[in-house]
Amino acid sequence: MKMRFRWITVPGTVILLIIVLLTISPFGRKISASGSDLFLKIKVLNDIISIINDYYVEVPDWDEVMEGAYSGLLENLDPHSFYIEKKQLSNINEEFTGKFEGIGIEFDVLDGYITVISPVAGAPAEKAGLMVGDKIVKIEGESSYKIKRENVSKKLRGPKGSSVTVTIRRQGAEDFDVTIIRDEIPLYSVSAAFLMDDSAGYIFVNRFSGTTAEEIRDAMKRLSDEGMKQLVLDLRGNSGGLMDQAVEIADMFIDGRQMIVYTKGRIRGANEEFYSGRFNGFGKLPLVILINRGSASASEIVAGAVQDHDRGLVVGETSFGKGLVQRQYPLRDGSAIRMTVARYYTPSGRLIQRPYDGTMADYFEGFVEENRDSLLAAEDSAKVRPQYQTKKGRVVYGGGGISPDYYVKFERDLSRDTYKLLRHPSLVLFDYTSRTSEKYERYRNRKEKFFEKVEISDGDFESFLEAIQDKEIDVSIEKLKKDSDYLKLLMKAELAREFWGYDEYYKVIRQYDNQVQAAMQYLREASTMIGVANK
C-alpha cells in the first residue's frame, strides 16, 4: 500500500514524463491533434487522484477505484467497449472456448440491470423460462442494480447442482422469483440439426465461437446424407461472436468471389474486406435465414450478405443492430480492454449499427418493445432510413439492424400461470416426464413412429396436473388446462430429449413454432431466387 501512495504523491514527475512521451511519440502527435486539451485532462485526472489519496475520509481501495475509472472510460466510448479485470479475463475468454458451470445466459448490463439478451439453448435459464428482455433485479434477495459486468459471473456461476434465486422484472408483469439449478454449459454452437420433412433441413445456431463453422459443416454433411435439398438456418437469439466464423459460414452459401462484409475504422489496420470463394460449399442450396431482435453482430453479417446477394430470404423480425468490431488489447497488469476499432458494412454498403448518440438507456429502450418492428417499419421511419439495393435491385434498409424480407412475429399466447409453472424450481414438467417415460419406452427404437403417432393423452395430462397439485405449486389448474396443447407439446419434447437428445427435442418444438413454419413456406421462393440468379 505504501508503494502505491508513494507513486501517487509524485504527480509532477509522472505528468512531466507522460507529456514528454506523448509529445515525442507518433501516438502523442495524433491525439494532441484531435484534442488540444488532452494534457489538461490528464493533469485534472492526476489532481483528482491526489486529492482523493490525501483527503478522502478513509484510505481508498485503489484497485477498486481505478478499475471503476477504467470501466467508466470505456463505457463512455460506445455500448460495446469495456474493461476486463485480470481475474475475469479467463471467464471472458471462455465465451468462445471450453465449458463452464452456471445458468447459461447471454446478457448485458442495461439501464443498470442484468438484461437477458438470449438464454443459451438447453441451459438451466432457458428451462426455467427466462426470456429475451428479462431484467435480473435481485440475486439471492440482494439488489443487482448497477452491478459491474465483471461481477455478474461471480454471482450467477457456480458448481453444477447448486441453485441461485433471481428476481425477474418482465414487461407487463410484477417482479417474480425464479430458482435456477446450475449445470454445465457446453459452449457448442449448433444446438440442433435435423430434417423438418423429407427434404428441408433445419440448423439452429446459438453463437459464433471458434468451432462454429466446423460444427455447421459437419451438420450440413450429415443432413445432406439424409436427403436435405433445402435449408432453414435459424439465427434467432444468436448474439454473435467471432467475425471470421461469420465470414466462413457465409462463404459456404455464396459462390464465387463475392464480398461478404467490409470494415472501416480510424486506423489503417481496421479497414478490411472479406470475400467468399475460399470454400466450395452449398451455393445452390435454397436458403431461408431466421432472425429476431436477439440476432446480433456475426448473425447480422451472415444475414446481410445472403440478403444483399439475393442468395436467400431473411424471415422473422428486425435484428439487434450491432455493427461494431471489437479487438481485445492486453494491459500490463494482466487485465485487458475490448474496444471498438471499426464499423462493419454489408456488401450493399449498409451500416448495421444502430445509433447510440444518447445514453445507454436510450440505446436499449426499444429492445423489448412489443411493436418494435412496427415502429421500424412505420412510414415516417422508412422515409428517414437509408435505402440500398441488393445485387438484383431489391430495396433493403440500413440505419439499424437487418430488416427481414418477410416480417413474421413470434406468436405464443400463454397464461401467466403457465409461465409460472415452467419456471418453477421443482421443474415439475421435466420431473413428471422422466418418471413416466417408461410408458413410451417402446418408441425408443422407433423414432419415426414416435413423431408420427405419439400424442400425450388427456389422461396423462390429468395425471400431470395432479402432480402439480401434489407439489402445491400456486397456479390455476383451469388456466393450465387452457394451455394444454402447448404443455402436451413440451411433454412430448421432453420425452424425445430423454430418448435421443436435443435434435429430437427441438424437432418436436419447431413443428409448432410459427416463425419456423413460415420459413418453411418461403423455401419455394428461395429456390426460385437461386434459379433466376443462375440463369
Q: Give the integer Cα–Cα distance in Å for 454 and 492.
A: 8
Q: Give the integer Cα–Cα distance in Å for 102 and 497.
A: 21
Can you tell me which residue has the cell 465483471? 150
Between the two ends of the chain, the Cα-to-Cα distance in Å is 74
Is residue 17 a contact partner of residue 25, using CB atoms and an 8 Å limit?
A: no
Phi, psi dihedrals of residue 408, rounded to the nearest 5°: -135, 115
Query: CB burial class (10 A; 0-12, 13-18, 19+) of residue 344?
Result: buried
What residues contact residue 521 under an 8 Å CB cut-off, 6+ apart?
A: none
Q: Give the integer Cα–Cα distance in Å for 423 and 421.
A: 6
Q: Give the integer Cα–Cα distance in Å for 84 and 92.
A: 8
**Of 51, 25, 48, 28, whose CA–CA distance to 39 is shortest?**
28
Is residue 459 a contact partner of residue 420, using CB atoms and an 8 Å limit?
A: no
Angle 297-301-303 from CA coordinates, rounded to 5°: 110
DSSP state of 254: S
Q: Give the integer Cα–Cα distance in Å for 116 and 345.
A: 26
Dmax (CA) of the chain? 82
Q: Give the integer Cα–Cα distance in Å for 260 and 217.
A: 18
The three state secondary structure string of 13-39 is HHHHHHHHHHHHCHHHHHHHHHCCCHH
Q: Give the integer Cα–Cα distance in Å for 156 and 149.
A: 12
The three cell numbers of residue 16 are 512531466
Whole-angstrom CA distances from 440 to 352, 436, 488, 492, 518 are 48, 8, 14, 10, 31
Q: Give kind and range of the element (H or E) at residue 458.
A: helix 458-470
Question: Which residues are designated catalytic?
Answer: 297, 308, 322
Query: CB burial class (10 A; 0-12, 13-18, 19+) of residue 10?
Result: exposed
Is residue 109 a contact partner of residue 156, using CB atoms and an 8 Å limit?
A: no
478: number of CA atoms within 13 Å, CB side?
0
Angle 131-135-140 from CA coordinates, rounded to 5°: 105
Q: Give the integer Cα–Cα distance in Å for 174 and 12.
A: 55
